[in-house]
């Protein structure tokens, strides 16, 4: 029991020292030596929801990328923390929670700042179930970057491989493949990985990733000053709404391309709603709904649909 208390106190010290958006907040703690051993140490932590990978796989690519980017930023911090390079020895998805849509590590009882001592490179073996790596033994007799590399490969095998590639925008897939290959072979350290993720984020937010193609918006009639009533319509996956097809887009041109690729789609509106990247959400419709005046909105209707409806 004394060992359990000691481990908990060690974890609380880490939570106090590590201040980062990716580390769950410690609000307070108390130690009562006269209390029963089971309740001698009490801590109040930020409340989060357990990370459910199956549920996460059903979300949009943009939300899954956010989780991976948050994890990379956390691992960058742990590699350069005030306490030295920190490794999560029992790195599992169950160590993380979601707080207001953000990933946070909540279990630090197996975290360590110790780096493996060595005499030569053969002492710096990093073993995983499917791969092994030999790292460099430094002149100081320590395995260079072993804590950082262990965290990074675990992030690759538990998070990146499942969350990054699936339903990713085609224009970003080569960059994501590079990240997967480089982290899966440990050719990247955490610094290079963070730069690669930030490059993908830049390409996505600016729309540079969009593949060049003939303009599609000219196939639509634009009705400025109108929006549609939110009603149930055809579903698409993954959608930001259970009522219909609501997707993140860079602009109306990209929305037109999505509408053209969906046989049910006859119109769309780029809404005022924004995702965490600042991109607007577009609602796609299978019919021409009632229009509501809105000076800040515009609805785009396929010319073919417009002619059929004789608008």
| Displacement of CA 199 from its chain's centroid (Å) | 14
Catalytic residue (choose from 90, 120, 121, 185): 90
Query: Using CB atoms within 10 A of its CB, is residue 242 exposed (0-12), middle (13-18) or buried (19+)?
Result: exposed
**Could you tell me which of 120, 96, 123 has the C-alpha nearest to residue 107?**
96
Please give the Cα distance from 299 to 301 (Å, whole number). 7
Q: Residue 235: CB partners within 8 Å, gap ≥ 6? A: 244, 245
Q: Would residue 90 show up in a list of annotated catalytic residues for this protein? A: yes
Please give the Cα distance from 115 to 150 (Å, whole number). 11
**Long-range interactions of 136-139: CB distance < 8 A, separation 24+:** none
User: Alpha helix locations (H) across 213-288?
Assistant: 252-261
Please give the Cα distance from 90 to 112 (Å, whole number). 10
Q: Which residues are catalytic?
A: 90
């Amino acid at each position: 029991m004394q060992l359990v208390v000691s481990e908990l106190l060690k974890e609380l010290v880490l939570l106090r020292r590590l201040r980062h958006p990716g580390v769950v907040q410690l609000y307070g703690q108390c130690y009562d030596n006269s209390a029963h051993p089971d309740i001698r140490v009490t801590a109040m932590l930020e409340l989060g929801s357990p990370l459910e990978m199956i549920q996460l796989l059903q979300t949009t690519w943009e939300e899954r990328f956010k989780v991976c980017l948050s994890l990379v930023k956390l691992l960058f911090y742990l590699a350069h923390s005030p306490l030295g390079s920190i490794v999560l020895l029992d790195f599992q998805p169950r160590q993380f929670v979601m707080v207001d849509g953000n990933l946070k590590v909540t279990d630090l009882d197996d975290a360590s700042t110790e780096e493996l001592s060595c005499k030569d490179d053969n002492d710096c073996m990093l073993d995983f179930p499917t791969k092994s790596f030999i790292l460099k033994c430094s002149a100081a007799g320590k395995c260079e970057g072993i804590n950082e590399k262990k965290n990074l490969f675990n992030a690759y095998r538990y998070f990146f491989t499942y969350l990054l590639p699936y339903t990713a925008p085609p224009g970003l897939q080569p960059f994501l493949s590079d990240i997967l290959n480089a982290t899966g072979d440990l050719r990247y350290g955490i610094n290079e990985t963070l730069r690669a993720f930030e490059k993908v984020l830049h390409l996505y937010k600016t729309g540079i990733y969009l593949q060049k193609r003939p303009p599609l918006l000219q196939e639509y009639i634009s009705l400025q000053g109108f929006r549609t009533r939110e009603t149930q319509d055809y579903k698409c996956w993954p959608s930001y709404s259970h009522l219909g097809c609501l997707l993140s887009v860079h602009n109306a041109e990209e929305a037109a391309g999505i509408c053209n690729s969906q046989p049910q789609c006859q119109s769309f509106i780029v809404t005022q709603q924004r995702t965490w990247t600042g991109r607007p959400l577009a609602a796609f419709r299978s019919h021409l709904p009632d229009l509501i005046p809105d000076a800040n909105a515009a609805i785009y209707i396929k010319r073919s649909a417009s002619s059929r409806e004789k608008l």
